[in-house]
Chain A
Amino acid sequence: MDAVFSNFDDYLKAFGLTIGLFVVAGIASLVWGTILAVLRVGPISILNKAAALYVTLFRNTPLLMIFIFMAIAMPVLGYNFKFVEDVEIGGYNVSAFFFRSCIALTLYTSAFVCEAMRSGVNAVPLGQAEAGRAIGLTFAQSMQLVVLPQAARAIIPPMTSVLIALIKNTSVAAAFGMAEAVATMKALTNNNADQRTGIFLAFAVGYIIIVEVVALASYAVERKVRVAR
């Protein structure tokens, strides 16, 4: 374990990157996945089908493939997203690779977010949306004011699983040379083969802490949005 403490800076940086990937890709996935879910249940048939196709495509493609596509194929096609490296946020430069990793994670995770949302929306009785429309709410208003607030309760448990999977999926970025948690762990174990178990435990604990924070936050939200029926 000494290796972890003597390289504690790297350890923290690594988890910082893991958390960074999680937060950025998580927020983007929630936004994009919600849009997809609304398109799927919305009144326009062609958009229903397009969103369904998207979900089928990305839910059934291994994340690694999407990463390979973003990391290798996109730069070859001329999309390397180098421009993001000129952007400075709070003193840090975003690396193009971080950006591409976030896109890959978002493309993949949003498909699961969409399905979690949809199952939640389906748990709200149809009469609720009809009553909303009957008093003159538009489709968007009845979604926003009537259906989604009630769907929230049913959405939170599957959404928590999706987000936890995302935390762990950030490690795929390691395979592409990002010094996030798993990549840093590998580097440390290579240099300190005798401390393998300790290093491994230290990183496992790091993941457990992040996952538990997400899980606890989700319980808190779940309690808040409880609806009596």
Chain B
Amino acid sequence: MTAQESTPVSAGRGEPLVVLSGVQKHFGQLHALKDIELSVARGEVVVVIGPSGSGKSTLCRAINRLETIDEGTITLDGQPLPQEGKALAALRAEVGMVFQSFNLFAHKTILENVTLGPIKVRGMKKEEAEKQARELLDRVGVGHQAEKYPAQLSGGQQQRVAIARALAMEPKVMLFDEPTSALDPEMIKEVLDVMVDLAQQGMTMVVVTHEMGFARTAADRVVFMADGAIIEENTPEEFFTNPTSDRAKDFLGKILKH
């Protein structure tokens, strides 16, 4: 069974929120995204998995246009991604992004990191933004660190702040690009717990991760990429126990060994 033949696992979950169709992307000679067809339904959690260099980050970044595409279309809530300028900035505000390296604003306090977007992009009043930020920081378990600077926090705490910063914009969808890969093992769980919570509350999420525990607990669907193409997609249970493509079998064999 190939991806094209399989019925979408998410059928009935909600109408499509993010739709990529015929997406092609080149970096010079390198064909980084090959004819990508992917539809993420409202409330769905999609885990993207695949070997290094397979284009997972590029896919994620294309969805909020941090990376431009050569061909094809990407729509968010039925709207095609704008080219540049104010409209694009407005779209990005609707798409939360969490990076592998956290990327908290180094010169701002934790609280300011979370309030910057609401104040500058949404035009929210400072008091209101701070109230919301404190609630979000409490929710991700770093409320008591609000006045500190990012460098004073552990990696796990920084990543949870980064999630709060993205949530403060009330995004329609959240993108996570290997959010736990830069973390020490004991901190991975605290970040994954926050993500599982989010998933259970119905957030639409696209998550690049090799954390199979997370995929099994929270994901509706696993998308497997290799060499810039989507090779196979299925429910986590099916994918991990019965991968159909050789590439996926090979890949799972490697990551399951350690």
Q: Taking beta carbons and an 8 Å cutoff, which residues of A are in contact with B? A: 43, 125, 127-128, 130-138, 141, 145-146, 149-150, 227-229
Please judge, given known A-B contacts A133-B89, A134-B64, whether A229 and B151 are in contact too, CB under 8 Å. yes
Residues 49-100 (chain B) with a chain A CB within 8 angstroms? 64, 66, 84-86, 89-97, 99
> Chain B, interface size: which category?
20 to 34
Given the interface contacts A130-B66, A131-B99, A228-B149, does A136 sit within 8 Å of B169 by beta carbon? yes
Q: How far is the CA of A229 from the CA of B85 in the complex (A)?
A: 30
Q: Could you say which residues of chain A place their CB within 8 Å of the CB of B66?
A: 130, 133-134
- The reply to whether A138 and B85 contact each other, CB–CB distance below 8 Å, is yes
The answer to whether B151 and A137 touch across the interface, beta carbons within 8 angstroms, is: no
Q: Check B181 for interface membership: any CB of A closer than 8 A.
A: no
Judge whether B152 and A135 touch: CB under 8 Å: no
A136 and B103 contact, Cβ closer than 8 Å, known pairs A145-B116, A145-B120, A228-B151:
no
The 9 closest A-B pairs by CB, nearest first: A136-B93, A135-B117, A131-B103, A127-B103, A134-B97, A136-B121, A228-B151, A138-B89, A227-B107
B117, A150: Cβ atoms closer than 8 Å? no
Which residues of B line the A interface, CB within 8 A?
64, 66, 84-86, 89-97, 99, 101, 103-107, 116-117, 120-121, 149, 151-152, 162, 165-166, 169
Give bound CA distance, A51 to B37, whole Å: 40
Among A43, A128, A132, the residue within 8 A (CB) of B84 is: A43
Highest count of chain B CB atoms <10 Å: which of A135, A138, A228: A135
**Shortest Cβ distance from residue A143 to the other chain B in the assembled complex, whole angstroms:** 12
Whole-angstrom CA separation of A229 from B149 in the bound complex: 9
Alpha-carbon distance between A89 and B36 when the two chains are bound, in angstroms: 65
Cα(A133)–Cα(B105), bound, Å: 12
What are 29 of the A-B contact pairs (CB < 8 Å)? A43-B84, A127-B103, A130-B103, A131-B104, A133-B92, A134-B64, A134-B92, A134-B95, A134-B97, A135-B92, A135-B116, A135-B121, A135-B165, A135-B166, A137-B116, A137-B120, A137-B121, A138-B85, A141-B89, A141-B121, A149-B107, A150-B106, A150-B107, A227-B106, A227-B107, A228-B106, A228-B149, A228-B151, A228-B152
